[in-house]
């Protein structure tokens, strides 16, 4: 099963964490400001303690209220911000292609870093094919293939780390075969794409012939026919 994307830190937790992180510095600054601005500065030790406790109570109450208020506000606006971010992302035509490219790169790096034992050569050969062959991340088929590759990496690498003995060798062989099939699928996608591109080129060449060219000497992709 594919590993889910890392869950982002919720904004309200981030905001509350920032408030708590700066609680002590803010308290010290508050006491200093209160002491400097106080019209009647305490003199005796007992008066100083009473003054300190009184001012601390005001600070604790106000700071707690501000922390809760900021956390609640951030929690309330978070759904709106997420919707706006998703809307912006859906308008980006390259978003899916970029995500697919990142998935394939991360999966290949993880597969190469693992120790496959005796099957290391087969896995390395399959990974090399996946790195060498051209990916079409803008195409839905290429994006599905990168998802399958990520699923394979997320499934085989942890299983390999926790396996021992014959099971480890069996998993390594299974991973090598699975990655080889993914490489075969990638090569087939490249072949199909090349065939479609060639068909488009021939169609355009024929269209140019009909529109602008000399029908006795049509444009051709075959060099031998061009010389004839």
Q: Which residue has the higher pLDDT, 113 or 216?
A: 113
The residue ranges of every structural domain in the chain are 11-90, 95-211
> 214 vs 27, which has greater pLDDT?
27
Q: How does 34-65 read in b/e, with b if 16+ C-beta sit within 10 Å?
A: beeeeeeeeeeeeeeeebeeebeeebeeebee
Tens of pLDDT, residue by residue over 159-188, are 888 878 788 888 888 888 898 899 889 888
Q: 187: which 2 tokens?
A: 């090569």
Is residue 54 pLDDT above 80, yes or no? no
Are the beta carbons of 123 and 181 closer than 8 angstroms? no
């Amino acid at each position: 099963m594919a590993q889910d994307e890392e869950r982002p830190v919720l904004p309200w937790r981030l905001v509350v964490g920032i408030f708590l992180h700066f609680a002590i510095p803010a308290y010290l600054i508050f006491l200093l400001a209160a002491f400097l601005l106080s019209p009647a500065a305490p003199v005796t030790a007992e008066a100083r303690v009473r003054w300190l406790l009184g001012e601390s109570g005001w600070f604790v109450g106000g700071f707690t209220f501000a922390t809760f208020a900021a956390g609640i506000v951030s929690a309330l606006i978070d759904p709106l911000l997420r919707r706006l971010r998703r809307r912006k992302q859906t308008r980006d035509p390259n978003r899916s292609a970029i995500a697919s490219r990142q998935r394939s790169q991360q999966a290949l790096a993880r597969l190469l870093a693992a120790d496959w034992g005796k099957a290391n050569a087969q896995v390395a050969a399959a990974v090399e094919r996946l790195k060498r062959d051209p990916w079409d991340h803008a195409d839905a088929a290429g994006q599905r293939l990168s998802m399958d590759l990520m699923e394979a990496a997320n499934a085989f690498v942890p299983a390999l780390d926790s396996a021992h003995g014959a099971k480890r060798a069996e998993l390594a062989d299974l991973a090598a075969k699975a990655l080889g099939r993914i490489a075969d699928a990638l090569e087939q996608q490249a072949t199909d794409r090349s065939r479609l591109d060639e068909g488009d080129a021939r169609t355009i060449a024929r269209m140019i012939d009909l529109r602008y060219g000399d029908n006795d000497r049509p444009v051709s992709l075959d060099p031998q026919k061009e010389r004839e």
